[in-house]
Structure 1
């Protein structure tokens, strides 16, 4: 099979499209002919040798990637034969190996893809969608809410805008550049503004009048997040799940002292990592099922930007420079 292999930590150019041995499914496992493999911003940090939430950097050489969808084409011993030929999607957690034409997974982790989703959309929902469901555990959106979504043209931002609108909230999306702002409007935001323009907070204030935001879904950190939090009213929530605006590799989340929070009358909560899992009672599979169900029903619809498998390096560069919209997915050409 062909796969993307990383032999040395470093820039995107270190991702090599190579031929390697086909993986063999073990007992209770399946082998999937991959139609879509998801790319996460965390993958770019792992590529550079940063451990992130992992206990240590991955061992080299490695095939990156943890999200995959395709058709089950072979089974290991003692695997339910009912899986053979099914379209499936799976998130492998900490296990790499998905930027490839073939991938192996424990059958217990699989989800059958709903009939009205393609494989790339299913990959978006098993990873980005699962995270979105996790974030939404920390607030109860309704018609009285005014939600600000920075990075609203991204994978999670796209889904947050849709979910908040479905809940009856007024939604303000922030995005960088006219094309992304237009996409956020198409996605249903009541107001979309370009955070690259210095006066964007004034645009929001002019739109809201005497009203104030009730929640900021912060994945960017830095000056953009601080300006968004300044638009919160008393009792507002600042929910932090990233800081890509400052750069994943060397950035830091926007934080406040207890005194600042008390003075503003707001709360600020980081919801990444173990906190998300604990909130779900340790049951991430339920979050995956909920995410796929939301997409199958049409309530949530991911935006997907596809790159051929051989162009994984270009996909990483585009993601790192914020040159993408929605979920970034690799599409192998399987035999």
Structure 2
């Protein structure tokens, strides 16, 4: 089969397509023939050697965390009725075929395309996890801010919070991304590359700031996002596009009574929770309640171009590799 491997830690050029043996389904496993593979910013960080303590990888390896396709074969103890079913699958997905435990696949609901399902696999779960941090008072009229709001997870969080009755402020870079967030339901859109953007958020929210801020950027930009939170509010960080998480002075947070949550601090979430959230997000998309924004697709051989686009912040919403 065709697969892309990280030959050594480095830039996008280390992503090389190779022919490698087809995987074989062992006991309790299925092999999925992928139609689309999810591409997330974390893939680019790991390719460069970041995060080895959390994600131990030894090149050469096939990157990726999952995708969507159809079950091609099953292990000897797996119901053959799975063959031909449309599923999402967790695993190293920059490849035509992925072998996975049966517990790592989930059927795709009728009415939802495989690329759309792949686009929800990681970012949909993340967005639902983030939306669960909305305080009980995030109802009609409460202000929330989503930073990196035109990204895969951010664009879904905008929709989820909008549906929860919140008044959403979307922060992104450039008019093209801001227009997308408005289309998705943001009431206010601000460009966080422009001076004075924090003041504009505060002005839009009546001067006090937002009840909840979701930081999908991290680093210095995430620390600016913290400044938009009203006293007594909540700041949730999950982004590392700046190379690190946002670092908030705990004494300042305590003084302002702001709850600070690092969504990724606990490592990989519980698998059962992930399955529950993934089921919910797939059903929401199948029902038309939310839609992933697929801003760029690339053939498998162009995985390096997909990584470059993410690194340059050129992609709206989700990037996918198509087989």
TM-score range, shorter chain: over 0.9
Q: Which residue of the partner structure matches residue 186 of structure 1?
A: 183
Equivalent residue runs for 1:1-335 within 5 Å: 1-52=1-52, 54=54, 56=56, 58-92=57-91, 96=92, 98-140=93-135, 141-244=138-241, 247-248=242-243, 251-257=244-250, 259-274=251-266, 277=269, 283-304=273-294, 305-332=296-323
Give how far 1:53 is off: 5.7
Q: TM-score, normalised by structure 1?
A: 0.89
Q: Is the 8 A contact 1:148 1:217 kept in 2?
A: yes
**Any idea what the Cα deviations from partners look like across 1:150-207, whole Å, max 9, x if unmatched?**
1000011101100111011000001111111111111110011111111322332333
Q: Is the 8 A contact 1:154 1:326 kept in 2?
A: yes
State how far apart, in whole Å, the 2-side matches of 1:111 and 1:172 are: 33
Tell me the C-alpha RMSD between the 2 structures. Answer: 2.0
**Any idea what the Cα deviations from partners look like across 1:185-244, whole Å, max 9, x if unmatched?**
111100111111113223323333345310110121344333333232221111111232
State how far apart, in whole Å, the 2-side matches of 1:308 and 1:271 are: 32
Q: Is the 8 A contact 2:223 2:246 kept in 1?
A: no
**Any idea what the Cα deviations from partners look like across 1:38-69, whole Å, max 9, x if unmatched?**
1121111221223356352x122211112111
- Segments of structure 2 that go 5 or more residues without pairing to the other structure are none
**Any idea what the Cα deviations from partners look like across 1:237-271, whole Å, max 9, x if unmatched?**
11111232xx23xx3423122x3123323221112
SS in 2 for 1:315: helix
Change in Cα spacing, 1:276 to 1:267, as seen in structure 2 (3 Å) is: farther
Q: Is the 8 A contact 2:223 2:248 kept in 1?
A: no
Higher alpha-carbon deviation: 169-178 or 285-294 = 285-294
Q: Is the 8 A contact 1:45 1:52 kept in 2?
A: no
Q: Is the 8 A contact 2:130 2:157 kept in 1?
A: no
State how far apart, in whole Å, the 2-side matches of 1:276 and 1:75 are: 27
Q: TM-score, normalised by structure 2?
A: 0.92
Give how far 1:329 is off: 1.0
Higher alpha-carbon deviation: 128-137 or 315-324 = 128-137
Q: Is the 8 A contact 1:218 1:243 kept in 2?
A: no
Change in Cα spacing, 1:53 to 1:151, as seen in structure 2 (3 Å) is: farther
SS in 2 for 1:122: helix
Q: How many residues align?
A: 320
Q: Is the 8 A contact 1:29 1:104 kept in 2?
A: yes
SS in 2 for 1:254: coil
State how far apart, in whole Å, the 1-side matches of 2:255 and 2:265 are: 28
Q: Is the 8 A contact 1:153 1:326 kept in 2?
A: yes
Change in Cα spacing, 1:52 to 1:115, as seen in structure 2 (3 Å) is: farther
Change in Cα spacing, 1:48 to 1:287, as seen in structure 2 (3 Å) is: same
State how far apart, in whole Å, the 2-side matches of 1:225 and 1:39 are: 22
